[in-house]
Structure 1
């Protein structure tokens, strides 16, 4: 049963019926016990009354016994008076011919002429008589059953009315959910405005708030994708236009030197376009895998840096790259591919900005545990440091060949690893200092 309204209806109706049945059973047990006490008291009082009317052994008429045994009742009680030697002295009209009880005194139950009787016996040894007053057990049960029937029959008649009232109440209470569902169904695919949860019940409001949070995240993701597409188109347009221009110059130039210069510019534009496309693909991959589980392993930082340095050629052969030997003795428990992406982009960013004959230094720090890269470039203005990790952000000291994605990729990769990127300007000289602080769960040795 997938309908919430149907489930609530069945649960409420079933619970109501069960409670009603339990209440009826409780009334039945309680009423039966009360009836038993009341009837037993009546038997006792009637027997004592009849015994008090027997004076000097005189016999009473059946009419007198009937009047004494059951005042105010119509043939409900039966009475017998027996002598102590076992002779029937008198009885009420309608009393059975057989002896009502064989006990000397007190309450007892017996089957007389095929019917169960509840009898109270009062013995008077001074007068030499036993007075027996009893009523039929079936009569008692009949009265209790009539009382229960008075409860059950109205309940059976009320159940259809109760069912209709429950169904209508549930329909009215769930109406805000239907309204919100219709609003969501009728809105446009790109409409991410929050759903009005003011009419929602308090129990459903957290669901509506979570849905609005999801819509806000989707809106931010769509806006981010649109911005990324627009920025990528803009950044790709410049090198592609440069390629076309330089190709036209190379075709039209008669001077070999001019032609060679144009071809060199074509190579520069091709390198920039290749790096931009690679960075865009890296960003797309990191975004797509943001919520996927990643495999981790023990990774040696020095080995990764050796691979990165070997595959990345600086613009100037006089640039010196120094790797702290401690990094070759440092292992971290992390995802190798994502960590390589982060370190590679840090290294390429340093290569873009390092001065000719400058030094790029990779080091390891223990407190806090982090891997650090320092270059001897222009650095980043202090007011632009918080903005440097934004996608396509290029500050006042931008590189001619960069696209503003390198540090964004590092930041995103660090978040995937649970690490933290910290950017500061060097204090001893011009240049940028970038530190990747290890996650708490990383094992360094």
Structure 2
């Protein structure tokens, strides 16, 4: 047996809608026809029964004195349709009078007044029985069942034939209406298909039916997000190329200095500067790759969490050599509960907290204080990282997160991507980041809340 499975092509929306509406119309038409048949059969049967009873009443009013009791009296036929309805007058069990086309046998054995169905000489009859003026006279008025069925069928045909003729016209009208209703979808599809790949202008919404407007709006939103993404990528590519050019040019220059060095000490300094330039370029590339991976992730809920105390202690231990060399104090103000978690996977938790702690240590002067604090209140957890450095002006804080943005005059190297990474992680995992000036230490204060 073949391992491939055949995929069934879905039926078009127009065909599905047309078939559904036509099926409903046919079912409704058939139901109406059945109800019409039933109602017409009842109404016509009641009407014909009334005619039989009316005929019997007229016969009951006729005097029997003029009839010859010694012979059979037959009524003449005055119309070609007259044989369809017949009568019999029975007196003391003897047929006294009848229609010319009536049988000689009683139309029914019934004596009590009312209607009866019977069969005489192989023919089915509908008979009305009543008593004459004299109690020994019995009046029978009958009609062939086949004639009644012909009348009912003719009545139904006159009703259903126009309905049958109207059904194809109704189907044609439904097809035309459905085709016109789905035409905007086809026009929208052709408009999107005719676009150039680089065309991201919004689709016009004027004259769009309300049912199609949500689709057009969603497509316009998609075009807008795609345009922003492309613009961001283009800007990012240009900025990355510019930022990479600086460390690469520095590495090349130091390599040339090492090649032309006159003594070993000068060569060693040039090589050390080359290694530092390579380290800066490596860190820049790592941050660029990390930011690219974060940009590819959609904003989702927090599916994983990481023990916060372990991450903070590990990162404080990592930055301690640098802080000690610059005589800085990095302190955790309160004991960290072991059960406290941050809603991030461990790699992202380390990236976020490392960037915050690294910025505090790097941009603070020698002998500065860096303080970490965790507080819980009103169902929220808040991590604070603050320092006694120079801080940033409000307008500079507002630009934090712009890619490759750096404050001049700090004397520190960097790519300006750290804050972009922090804010992207926070946006993906729905953390709240805020910055201000530390009221106690006077430097930068960053709060992470979840």
Could you state the TM-score of these two structures normalised by the residue count of structure 2?
0.87
| 1:199-226 superposed Cα distances (whole Å, 9 cap, x missing partner) | 4322122122112212222222222222
* Conserved? CA contact 1:345–1:410, under 8 Å: yes
Q: Tell me the residue number matched to 1:443.
A: none
Match of 2:57 among 32, 48, 58: 48
Cα deviation, residue 117, structure 1: 1.5
Secondary structure of 1:62's aligned partner: strand
Flag the 1:333–1:377 CA change in 2: closer, same or farther, 3 A: closer
Match of 2:256 among 233, 248, 270: 248
Cα deviation, residue 276, structure 1: 1.5
Match of 2:225 among 217, 222, 247: 217
Cα deviation, residue 433, structure 1: 0.8
Q: Tell me the residue number matched to 1:134.
A: 142
* Conserved? CA contact 2:387–2:441, under 8 Å: no
Match of 2:413 among 401, 414, 421: 401
Asked whether 1:38 is paired with 2:34, we answer no
Match of 1:80 among 75, 80, 88: 88
Q: Tell me the residue number matched to 1:305.
A: 312
Cα distance between partner residues in 2 of 1:61 and 1:170: 70
Match of 1:118 among 106, 123, 126: 126
* Conserved? CA contact 1:31–1:144, under 8 Å: yes
Moved more, 28-37 or 422-431: 422-431
* Conserved? CA contact 1:376–1:432, under 8 Å: yes
Asked whether 1:3 is paired with 2:12, we answer yes
Cα distance between partner residues in 1 of 2:286 and 2:387: 23
Cα deviation, residue 198, structure 1: 3.0
Flag the 1:328–1:357 CA change in 2: closer, same or farther, 3 A: farther
Match of 2:108 among 101, 104, 107: 101
* Conserved? CA contact 1:349–1:407, under 8 Å: no
Secondary structure of 1:369's aligned partner: strand
Q: Tell me the residue number matched to 1:349.
A: 359
* Conserved? CA contact 1:360–1:375, under 8 Å: yes
* Conserved? CA contact 2:401–2:423, under 8 Å: yes
Match of 1:267 among 236, 261, 275: 275
Cα distance between partner residues in 2 of 1:357 and 1:308: 19
| 1:232-279 superposed Cα distances (whole Å, 9 cap, x missing partner) | 111111111111122222322325554444334333322322222121
Cα distance between partner residues in 1 of 2:273 and 2:337: 39
Cα distance between partner residues in 1 of 2:369 and 2:282: 26
Moved more, 359-368 or 195-204: 195-204
* Conserved? CA contact 2:86–2:101, under 8 Å: yes
Q: Tell me the residue number matched to 1:186.
A: 194
Q: Tell me the residue number matched to 2:402.
A: 390
Q: Tell me the residue number matched to 2:3.
A: none
Q: Which runs of 5+ in 1 are unaligned?
A: 439-445
Q: Tell me the residue number matched to 1:170.
A: 178
Flag the 1:205–1:417 CA change in 2: closer, same or farther, 3 A: same
Flag the 1:58–1:397 CA change in 2: closer, same or farther, 3 A: farther
* Conserved? CA contact 1:338–1:417, under 8 Å: no
Flag the 1:76–1:318 CA change in 2: closer, same or farther, 3 A: same
* Conserved? CA contact 1:195–1:208, under 8 Å: yes
* Conserved? CA contact 1:80–1:132, under 8 Å: yes
Q: Tell me the residue number matched to 1:362.
A: 372
Flag the 1:58–1:151 CA change in 2: closer, same or farther, 3 A: closer
| 1:276-308 superposed Cα distances (whole Å, 9 cap, x missing partner) | 2121122122222325787514x3212112222
Moved more, 55-64 or 106-115: 55-64
Matched residue count: 432
Moved more, 333-342 or 252-261: 252-261
Secondary structure of 1:94's aligned partner: coil
Cα distance between partner residues in 2 of 1:399 and 1:166: 77
* Conserved? CA contact 1:420–1:436, under 8 Å: yes
Cα deviation, residue 158, structure 1: 4.4
Cα distance between partner residues in 2 of 1:256 and 1:281: 37
Q: Which runs of 5+ in 2 are unaligned?
A: 1-9
Match of 1:91 among 83, 95, 98: 98
Could you state the TM-score of these two structures normalised by the residue count of structure 1?
0.88
Asked whether 1:417 is paired with 2:429, we answer yes
Moved more, 426-435 or 323-332: 323-332
Cα distance between partner residues in 1 of 2:400 and 2:411: 13
